Structure 1
Amino acid sequence: MTSKLETSRRPDTAVTTTTATTHAGNHPLISEARGWTGRTWALLLVLCGALFLDALDISMVGVALPSIGADLGMDPTALQWIVSGYVLGYGGLLLLGGRASDLLGRRRVFLAAVLVFGVASVVTAVLSNDLAIIALRFVKGVAAAFTVPAGLSIITTTFAEGPARNRALSIYTVSGASGFSLGLVFGGVLTELGWRATFLLPGPVALAIAAVAWRVVPRAAVPSFRLRDFDLLGAVTVTGALLLTVFTVVEAPGRGWASATTLGSAAVALGLLVAFVLTELRHPAPLVRLGILRSPSLVHANVAGAVMFGCYAAFQFLVTLFLQDTLGWSPLSMALAFLPAGVLVAASSLHVDKLLAVVRTEVLIATGLTAFFAAYVLFFRVGLDLSYAAVLLPTMLLLGVGFAIAFPSINAQATAGVADDEQGLASGLVNTSVQVGGAIMMALVTAVLGSHAGEPGATGAAGALVGLHAGLQVIVGLTVVGVLVSALMLYRGRRPRLALD
């Protein structure tokens, strides 16, 4: 059921005549870019708060990893699962989360996912078993996979297209960037008090967000659905394939690359991936319409996103362990050292749209990845007498520039030229690639650390520096691949087309 809301132009406002469709619950779309009510701001606050919390959790816990490892006796191989478990749950089920919000109701899915996130945070904070912690981190990632697409779709179905929606989405985007930046500081401060505080903090906040959301998120009619409308088999097979891939890479150095366990888990992972592809080809409502991957621009965006975030996540993991475990930095000192990159991203997020309007996304992606490459190469100068001003600060500034330029450009390119009814799929795919890239890259550098652990002279500070450099080589190599793919896209776009008779 729909109705129309007419708003005429008045001399004292900047609101033009707008036709807005209402929700099934008779809630008109918010069409004025100014003059929002308190309820409007409360709605936007809870949606932005949920995204802020998701981003905050990733960076905050990352700072606490050395303290967690020292207290629970977890080595880097086990520690990486605390981050990888979260991002694999997030990335593996993100597309299913978007589908669920459409079929089960955005409000219902958002509230349930935020509650699960909050409860899992509180429970994780009191656990001391590493496997239980990793399992609940995976659960939190799954909750985020349902929260984010539901929250985004609430914005796009509550704020009318145009200035109001653009303003809401800008605030929403800045919230995510700010959460990631401030998570470093929060993580440093809370870890000084005790690493369990980094697990606990999101719990009460998430429960408070759910309580406010119950009152302010508009109700809408929930469409009828059938179980076969959910591609559950596709979600299970792709998530299982990703989990087994990471397990195989992480465990291979200790068990042997040619061991039965390594080859067996790799074979099962490949089998699950094949099963996923077959499922998507046959399912009436697949998570991924595989034909969309014929778009070179979309494939480029996914590769660039996986390389960009994957290499950065691996870099942060390596440097966090090196600064705290080897050089003896406090968690807060390490967090403040990384902060310039996050501040640069948050400060630029409201202005990068102007850059996107005048420069091709392929150029911006190539430029951003080149900045990442320069940052990682610069960090090769790191030593046991690390100079913040000469090495770490310029590295962080280059990373901030890379993120500020590349990340929005990747998202813009992923959805450019895609049909309206597949915009959500394209956006979900690139965000999935970003999260999965982080898990796989962390697995690779963890495998590199594991392969160096048994070498002669690999103990102590000198051995840690050797492992750091080896991990950096992998990160630089994969970043070069991303730059070359972007350069190829630039060449493809500029190549003149020949007229054939």
Structure 2
Amino acid sequence: MTRPTTARDSRWAALLVLCTGMLMIVLDMTIVNVALPAIQQDLGFSQSSLAWVVNAYLIAFGGLLLLAGRLGDLIGRKRMFLTGLGVFTVASVLCGVSFTPEMLIAARFVQGVGGAMATAVTLGMIVTMFPDPDEEARAIGVFSFVAAAGASVGLLAGGVLTQALNWHWIFFVNIPIGLAAAALTARLVPADRGLGFGAGADVLGAVLVTAALMLGVYTIVKTEEHGWGSAHTLLLGAVTIVLLVLFVARQRTATNPLLPLRVFRSRNVTGANAVQILMVAGMFGMFFLGTLYMQKVLGYDALQIGLGFLPTALAIGTLSVGMSARLIGRFGARPVLLVGLALILLGLLWLTRVPVAGSYLTDLLPAVLLVGIGAGLAFPTMMTLAMSGATESDAGLASGLVNTTAQVGGALGLAVLATLSTGYTASLLARGEPETAALTKGFHLAFGIGAGLVALGIVLAVTVLRAERPAERPELEPVGVV
């Protein structure tokens, strides 16, 4: 049945409000990158601990998304979204007033908690507001633009704020945005009734998976100090694997598991989430390590770095909003995804050849454009596939899962690529290599490994995903209640 015009208009206005809140959260994943040198100098971070300014946020975010999505199904997704906005905004104040490394890392962790609470339910709210496949594809395209292009916009905003004011304002700017988004959400976003706590929440499962993710990234980051084959790395790595095995075992036996394993019966849901982990892990290094290349090798300031990544945001925006939905409708999701992944792969391979005396127009611009165009095609497609078959009762869980794979991929990818790059650079410096040359070769290694991860994602997409059009998507069993 066709909805009244006013209801349709209200839904699109609600979508913009949700995306505004989402944009604020996504920005904080990369807005910090440009300000890292200033933060390091001001608060006295060591080089090895600086990555935790990013990792503390990503690990709290990725580790809690599944639980937050499930709780959204239980207590109501609108209520969870508003609570998350509140926690995130308060934590932004704490980040802005931080005066020690420990305080900033702790505040960033709390930011990640708030971000998880709000983000986990956003996509679920969108798919329930837009049940029509065509409208859903357009709405997911808008969401994908915010989720993907927000990373590039964050780099530009970080450059402007750091250059014009100081790094504290990359956090203070969240305060008015968070308050406005909360007020508009309360007014425009329709309320929903949760399933109630009678359905239960798998707290033990959440503790196990969060502990595994945190310990895993900590282990990888510390390999710079201890080495990959050290007893320290092997022991903590083994504990991480045990925690993950216990989490899976818990999901098989829990009365109301955090992540019911039957959700993975769909090849497209499983494949899309697996491909997303590899793709995000591979391309996330472009922003973090690309920033360091521009700053430490080419001598760019914060604003120049932000402008350098602007073409990525523009390319993602052009393709995500509208165009990707039309391409999916005409050719199907799988071919569009494969083209997007191939373009990202080419962009990362281009970065493996950047020289010490690089030129932006010939050495960087082609790469950021290729990655931007590829991400503009790939992200909406993966989200459409990953949400295929989600019912109203489990939309929060499905939304939490797709966001979890993105954030886990980002956190682990950053840890691995940054650690390997730093370790290789250190070995070259020990051999007497000039600093800029050693840094550049370290970045080459990281970009090459990132390209390899994306290539593996292409292989998975070809072998696992089914070629089907949006109208033919299979329905999964409801997974919200067991």
Give the TM-score of the pair, scaled to structure 2.
0.87
Instruction: Confirm or deny that 1:127 pairs with 2:98.
Output: yes
When residues 279 and 456 of structure 1 are mapped into structure 2, their CA distance, relative to the original with a 3 A threshold, is same
Q: What is the SS of the residue equivalent to 1:381?
A: coil
CA distance in 1 between counterparts of 2:74 and 2:396 reads 14
CA distance in 2 between counterparts of 1:478 and 1:153 reads 28
- Whose Rg is larger? 1
Partner of residue 298, structure 2: 327
Instruction: Confirm or deny that 1:475 pairs with 2:446.
Output: no
For residues 218-243 of structure 1, the C-alpha deviation after alignment (integer angstroms, 9 at most, x for no partner) is 555565424x7011111111111011
CA distance in 1 between counterparts of 2:402 and 2:217 reads 19
CA distance in 2 between counterparts of 1:343 and 1:327 reads 23
When residues 166 and 447 of structure 1 are mapped into structure 2, their CA distance, relative to the original with a 3 A threshold, is closer
Q: Work out which structure has the larger RCO, using CA pairs closer than 8 Å and 6 or more positions apart in sequence.
A: 2
Q: Is the 8 Å Cα contact of residues 76 and 446 (structure 1) preserved in structure 2?
A: no
Instruction: Confirm or deny that 1:137 pairs with 2:108.
Output: yes
For residues 330-370 of structure 1, the C-alpha deviation after alignment (integer angstroms, 9 at most, x for no partner) is 11111111111111111111221111112233322222221
Work out which of the residue numbers 213, 216, 223 in structure 2 matches 1:242. Answer: 213
Q: Is the 8 Å Cα contact of residues 66 and 320 (structure 1) preserved in structure 2?
A: no
Partner of residue 475, structure 2: none
When residues 171 and 461 of structure 1 are mapped into structure 2, their CA distance, relative to the original with a 3 A threshold, is closer
Partner of residue 429, structure 1: 401
CA distance in 2 between counterparts of 1:483 and 1:167 reads 25
Q: How does 1:55-454 map to 2 (within 5 A)?
A: 55-156=26-127, 161=132, 171-177=142-148, 179-192=150-163, 193-219=165-191, 223-226=195-198, 229-349=200-320, 350-416=322-388, 424-452=396-424, 453-454=426-427
Structure 2 letter corresponding to 1:463: A
Q: CA deviation at 1:43?
A: 4.2
Residues matched between the structures, number: 463
CA distance in 2 between counterparts of 1:314 and 1:216 reads 37
Q: CA deviation at 1:35?
A: 7.6
When residues 124 and 493 of structure 1 are mapped into structure 2, their CA distance, relative to the original with a 3 A threshold, is closer
Q: Is the 8 Å Cα contact of residues 92 and 175 (structure 2) preserved in structure 1?
A: yes
Give the TM-score of the pair, scaled to structure 1.
0.84
Structure 1: unaligned runs, 5 residues or longer: 1-16, 19-30, 495-501
Structure 1 letter corresponding to 2:412: I
When residues 127 and 165 of structure 1 are mapped into structure 2, their CA distance, relative to the original with a 3 A threshold, is same
Once the two structures are aligned, what percentage of the paired residues are identical?
A: 37
Structure 2 letter corresponding to 1:267: A
When residues 343 and 241 of structure 1 are mapped into structure 2, their CA distance, relative to the original with a 3 A threshold, is same
Structure 2: unaligned runs, 5 residues or longer: 469-482
Q: CA deviation at 1:40?
A: 6.4
When residues 34 and 458 of structure 1 are mapped into structure 2, their CA distance, relative to the original with a 3 A threshold, is farther
RMSD: 2.8
Q: What is the SS of the residue equivalent to 2:214?
A: helix
CA distance in 2 between counterparts of 1:396 and 1:92 reads 29
Q: Is the 8 Å Cα contact of residues 33 and 167 (structure 1) preserved in structure 2?
A: no
When residues 335 and 147 of structure 1 are mapped into structure 2, their CA distance, relative to the original with a 3 A threshold, is same
Q: CA deviation at 1:321?
A: 0.9
Q: CA deviation at 1:148?
A: 2.0
